[in-house]
Chains A and B, each alone.
Chain A
Amino acid sequence: GAGVSQSPSNKVTEKGKDVELRCDPISGHTALYWYRQSLGQGLEFLIYFQGNSAPDKSGLPSDRFSAERTGGSVSTLTIQRTQQEDSAVYLCASRNQGTQYFGPGTRLTVL
């Protein structure tokens, strides 16, 4: 079956602009995660969704970051007023029976 998909695969933006990153999880997976991978920080957890609610947002680095999930499926991660330190690969994963399956990621470059 289809895996986790993310779009866009690459995004280049200017400092101060807002960006939206999309994640389509594997059909039927109720748990969804966002992670960020950067050179200095490795792979870091950002936010967890169970259905449409986000019981754990503890990894969001600032209030410029927000995420939502609709219909228990697609999730959008929004970064407002982007900064250069936001440059990273943003990864989405969905989970079934304990195993997390990752999408290909969105590479964000903030100029």
Chain B
Amino acid sequence: EDKVVQSPLSLVVHEGDTVTLNCSYEVTNFRSLLWYKQEKKAPTFLFMLTSSGIEKKSGRLSSILDKKELFSILNITATQTGDSAVYLCAGVTNAGGTSYGKLTFGQGTILTVHP
């Protein structure tokens, strides 16, 4: 059975701090690892990672994948109160060809950023 585990489950920091969120996965026929941010609505896409060691970056957020050790991290530097959200990661299986298969989500990390 595929499994994705995130840690920590919750994190409280102050504005300006740097945080690292962890995602470990056991996914059969692994295709990619996805990161999302969820506020009080539907998740919004952050990153897709398919190759080890290649950092994806968007503003203060960055993410990297280690396919040997089966984990990914999401870094947020200089946190702001607007970064407060649940951060989700998901492992994607390859259904053959170029098609996506099953997605397995972790339980999420609740990040709270205080002013």
A and B, one complex?
A: no
Hey, which bits of chain A sit against chain B, CB under 8 A? Answer: none
Partner-A contacts on B (CB < 8 A): none
